[in-house]
Amino acid sequence: MRYLVALAAVAALCFSLSGAPLNVALGKSVSATAVVGAGGPTGDGLPVTEALSSITDGIFKPEVTYWQQAVWWDESQPASAGNIIEIDLGGTYQIGAAKVQADNNDVYHMEYRTPGGAWLPLVSIGTAGPFWLVTREVTFAPVFATAVRIDADLGDQYYSVAEVQLYAVPEPATLGLAALAVPILWLARRKSTQVGRRRGTRL
Ligand SMILES: [Ca+2]
Ligand SMILES: [Ca+2]
């Protein structure tokens, strides 16, 4: 019985009431370790970067939106070199999948912070799509994380991130788990009702 209730609780943490996978990064605090929105390619730069909070606002840009219509940074600028974007989850969450919309021609990598405070490698996000902002979906062995950070490894030194979403499990699998969550909750409730009735009979 306790096992079933625990399973139901885990399911509730992974899915919204509609059964859709829960994006645990939604609305969470975003910070940058260096200056964003400075420099950019001569001639086509948009001088104003979007707010850091746009990375966790749950909104993707239309695919192949211009790369500077997001949080962008130019690592040829000394003040922007080595910039890392960090998302504080404000608690401990299991994550096993991510959607990242970022500049298409760069390789990024993600790390996660354990409940103990250590930063460990999570997943690499490769180049994709024709140009500018492109969404990548990645999966990895599930971990418990309190924060995630994204860093650019390889590319043209012009980097941008429009959206980061984190999920407990990949979407196709979550559909199966969501379907399981309802019977689990129903069974737990039914068992509880039966126990209540038996106790009621004895009384
Ligand atoms: Ca966004
Ligand atoms: Ca780039």
Q: With 60 as the cut, is the pLDDT of residue 21 above it?
A: yes
Q: Which two tokens stand for residue 102?
A: 């970022």
Q: 178 with 140, same domain?
A: no
Claim: this prediction has a pTM higher than 0.85: no
Q: 9 with 75, same domain?
A: no
Residue 109 Cα to ligand 2 midpoint, Å, equals: 14
CB within 8 Å of 152: residues ≥ 6 apart: 75, 83, 106, 107, 108, 159
Domain CATH for 61? 2.60.120.260
What angle do the packed helices 2-14 and 171-202 form, to 10 degrees? 140
**Of the listed ranges 79-88, 155-164, 175-184, the one predicted with least confidence:** 175-184
Q: 201 with 140, same domain?
A: no
- CA dist 110 → 91, 98, 198 (Å): 18, 10, 53
Alpha helix ranges (H) inside the chain: 2-14, 171-202
Q: Taking a C-beta distance cutoff of 8 angstroms, is the pair 25, 180 a contact?
A: no
Q: What is the pLDDT of residue 178?
A: 46
Q: 12 with 29, same domain?
A: no
Under the banding of pLDDT at 50, 70 and 90, the label for residue 122 is: very high
The residue among 43 and 8 whose pLDDT is bigger is 43
Ligand that lies nearest to the alpha carbon of residue 58, given by its number in the listed order: 1
Which residues are in the CB-under-5-Å shell of ion ligand 1?
A: 54, 57, 59, 163
Q: 104 with 137, same domain?
A: yes
Ligand that lies nearest to the alpha carbon of residue 62, given by its number in the listed order: 1
Q: 93 with 137, same domain?
A: yes
Q: 161 with 177, same domain?
A: no
Q: With 70 as the cut, is the pLDDT of residue 190 above it?
A: no
Ligand that lies nearest to the alpha carbon of residue 56, given by its number in the listed order: 1
Query: What's the full length of the chain, in residues?
Result: 203
Q: 113 with 183, same domain?
A: no
Q: 14 with 27, same domain?
A: no
Its domain, for residue 195, covers 1-20+171-203
- Number of domain units in the chain: 2
